[in-house]
Amino acid sequence: MITLKDIAASVKGDLIGDGDIPISGIAGIQSAVEGEITFLTHSSYTKFVPECKASALIIGRKTALADVRAVQNIVVVDNPELAYICVAALFQKGPVIKPGIHPSASVSATAVIAPGASVGAFACIEDNVRIGDNAAVYPFVYIGPNVTIGPGSTIYPHVTIYRDTTIGRNVIIHANTVIAADGFGYIWDGSKHAKIPQLGSVIIEDDVEIGANTAIDRASLEKTVIGKGTKIDNLVQVAHNVTIGQDSVIVSQVGIAGSARIGNGVVLAGQAGVRDHVTIGDGVMAGGGTGITKDVPAGSIIWGTPHMPHKEWMKLQIYMKRLPDLVERIKQIEKKLPAEETDD
């Protein structure tokens, strides 16, 4: 049983009310019922507090207690969103993964699988694969020759990992993702597209999460690298020889062309596109749909296609909204001009 004082201790929060009440789960502020804990991450949700039926509420230190007194039991924290992550983890119900190799899995005699690892039904593990302790390989996964998967990593169903890939500790790769397929490289030889051999590899560093249906291509000669702590959403394309730094966030439908260099702490919002051989500095933030066509200095906030500083893009949107009125004004001015001045 988890009590409210257990939760307050886990999030390093200040407890107001009865710490001995049992908490059975976590829910949104409008749907929570007695026995559950909810959270207030934004002032706009304060209006729901009077009708809230939760047994306890997590709030930030900037929230006025007078606004939330309808809930008697409160945990005050520095950051409610981070506290939510911690509490949600306490109640997360994931599948129980049992160590061992399913009888239907195909495992090479040269593969080395730690005793605490799990290999699911119909998985295929090729030569010289190494799978670390507490790693989980779900059913129907294909792992090619010379792949290393670090301890604690989770490979969900139907993931395909081609040869010579290195995956670090505590990596999560979601269903149907393909790691280390050939990069898209061809040269016109006068009669056809000649394929450039893709001889490199892929390195996925520790604590990376990769969403479903994402593709990360192997390098032509060296390495495609996804840095430690980076999070990649569903439906992302990372081309050959790309390097993404640590703790970056790549949102759904982003496309990164070959040999691009992405720094640490970069955020690429949905459907952003990065041209080949572009370098993006640390801490850059690119809005949704941004077309990044040239190098971007560290710390920049950009938007638009081709990309431009965010403030400049905002001004342009204002001008765009005014264009119909401006066109109409020009037409009215032309009507007042002598005919010879309007002829072109």
Distance CA 208, CA 229 (A): 5
**55, two tokens:** 């047994």
The tally of CA atoms less than 13 A away on the side-chain side of residue 280 is 36
Residue 126 CA to residue 111 CA, distance in Å, equals: 7
Q: Which helix (H) or strand (E) holds 215?
A: strand 215-217
Task: State whether residue 197 is helix, strand or coil.
Answer: coil
Q: How many CB atoms lie within 10 A of CB 297?
A: 12
Report the candidate in 36, 134, 133 with the shortest Cα–Cα distance to residue 84. Answer: 36
Helix (H, G, I), strand (E, B) or coil at 230: coil
Q: State how far the alpha carbon of 39 is from the alpha carbons of 10, 44, 192, 264, in Å.
A: 15, 12, 60, 31
240 flagged as catalytic = yes
Degrees to nearest 5, angle at CA 338 with 333 and 339: 105
* Number of Cβ within a 10 Å radius of residue 70: 11
Q: Which of 42, 158, 174, 240 is catalytic?
A: 240
| Under 8 Å between Cβ of 4 and 37 | yes
Measured between alpha carbons, how far is 125 from 313 in angstroms, rounded to an integer? 50
Known catalytic residues?
240
